[in-house]
């Protein structure tokens, strides 16, 4: 039992290491197999990132105007992740928007420089997220951050589990995998977060949050599937961002 708990803790820390810039032990055991098994913790890591943003928002909303608190909370989550998913969204937008062919789109995504499509998409996404959070009461904005970050990471796990990887050689990104058991565990963690959202804001909010995240995440997935025939690491970042925005927008419309 103790060994099993130690292994699960290692897997969780590997997920933290992969998705964030949060400190983890330097001597953490690593292998491709362990990294694949760690995917099940993505929604839980998402909830942790959202909690960081929520705590910053709740503390500062008592000290400064809400818009300032919201921007500080977003800055906290971006610092926590190293803008990992935002960078993916920008690169994916550049490739999908500027690449006329599949090969050209993949080539553009390899370029670390941000282009017009990426800049506009990232700017609009951050502005939209900030505007939505400012429209909520601070307590609801914090709850939405926790739920949004967790559910959107489940969207990433779903893409990994159900979609082919687009690159076959020369990739700058090692494609993650998830086991059937890991997928079920990730679903359980996402379900627990949704259940918490039911208790915090009601069944209606939880339902529309799930629908909104799923809808916009799947719409974005259909775009890169049509252009690339699969996903890349940048597409996963874009999926997370779109699912989070979809969730926040749906909750705002409902409320």
**Residues contacting residue 180 through CB under 8 Å, at least 6 positions apart:** none
More confident residue, 100 or 122: 122
* DSSP summary character for residue 176: P
196-210: average pLDDT? 94
**Residues contacting residue 169 through CB under 8 Å, at least 6 positions apart:** none
Q: In whole angstroms, what is the distance from residue 18 CA to residue 227 CA?
A: 27
Give the range among 22-36, 187-201, 209-223 with minimum mean pLDDT.
22-36
CA torsion through residues 91, 92, 98, 100, sign: positive
Give the range among 142-146, 173-177, 231-235 with minimum mean pLDDT.
173-177
Describe the crossing of helices 116-135 and 66-81 by its angle, rounded to 10 degrees.
130
Domain boundaries, the chain: 40-254
195-215: average pLDDT? 95
Q: In whole angstroms, what is the distance from residue 95 CA to residue 106 CA?
A: 6
Segment (H or E) for 82: none
50-64: average pLDDT? 97
Q: In whole angstroms, what is the distance from residue 217 CA to residue 127 CA?
A: 18
Q: In whole angstroms, what is the distance from residue 178 CA to residue 39 CA?
A: 6
Burial of 18 (0-12, 13-18, 19+ CB in 10 A): middle
In Å, how far are 7, 18, 180, 184 from 176, measured between CA atoms? 19, 10, 13, 16
Whole-number pLDDT of residue 99: 80
Whole-number pLDDT of residue 217: 95
* DSSP summary character for residue 165: B
Which string of DSSP letters, residue by residue, matches 7-23? HHHHHHHHHHHHH----
Describe the crossing of helices 84-98 and 233-254 by its angle, rounded to 10 degrees.
100
Residue of 219, 225, 223, 224 lying closest to 242 (CA atoms): 219
Give the range among 118-127, 172-181, 205-214 with minimum mean pLDDT.
172-181
Whole-number pLDDT of residue 28: 84
Average predicted confidence (pLDDT) for the chain: 91
Give the range among 36-40, 110-114, 181-185 with minimum mean pLDDT.
110-114
From first CA to last CA, the distance across the chain in angstroms is 45
The gap from C-alpha 100 to its chain's centroid, in whole angstroms, comes to: 27
For the entire predicted model, the pTM comes to 0.93
More confident residue, 99 or 200: 200
46-72: average pLDDT? 97
Whole-number pLDDT of residue 3: 66
The H-assigned helical ranges of 39-164 are 42-61, 66-81, 84-98, 102-110, 116-135, 138-162
Q: In whole angstroms, what is the distance from residue 133 CA to residue 147 CA?
A: 13
97-126: average pLDDT? 89
Measured in residues, the chain has a length of: 255
pLDDT exceeds 90 at position 76: yes
């Amino acid at each position: 039992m103790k060994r099993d708990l130690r292994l699960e803790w290692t897997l969780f820390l590997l997920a933290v290491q992969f998705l964030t810039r949060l400190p983890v032990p330097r001597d953490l055991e690593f292998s491709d197999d362990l990294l694949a098994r760690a995917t099940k913790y993505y929604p839980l890591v998402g909830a942790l990132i959202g909690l960081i943003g929520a705590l910053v928002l709740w503390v500062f909303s008592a000290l400064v105007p809400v818009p300032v608190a919201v921007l500080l909370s977003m800055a906290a989550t971006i610092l926590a992740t190293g803008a990992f998913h935002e960078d993916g969204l920008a690169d994916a937008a550049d490739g999908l928007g500027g690449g006329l062919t599949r090969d050209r789109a993949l080539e553009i995504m390899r370029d670390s420089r941000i282009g017009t499509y990426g800049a506009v998409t990232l700017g609009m996404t951050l502005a939209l997220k900030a505007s939505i959070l400012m429209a909520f009461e601070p307590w609801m904005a914090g709850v939405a951050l926790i739920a949004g970050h967790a559910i959107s990471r489940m969207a990433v796990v779903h893409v990994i589990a159900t979609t082919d990887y687009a690159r076959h050689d020369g990739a700058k990104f090692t494609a993650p995998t998830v086991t059937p058991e890991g997928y079920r565990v990730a679903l359980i963690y996402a379900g627990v977060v949704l259940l918490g959202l039911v208790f915090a804001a009601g069944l209606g909010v939880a339902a529309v949050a799930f629908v909104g995240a799923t809808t916009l995440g799947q719409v974005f997935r259909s775009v890169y599937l049509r252009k690339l025939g699969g996903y890349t690491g940048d597409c996963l970042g874009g999926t997370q961002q779109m699912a989070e925005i979809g969730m926040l927008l749906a909750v705002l419309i409902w409320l």
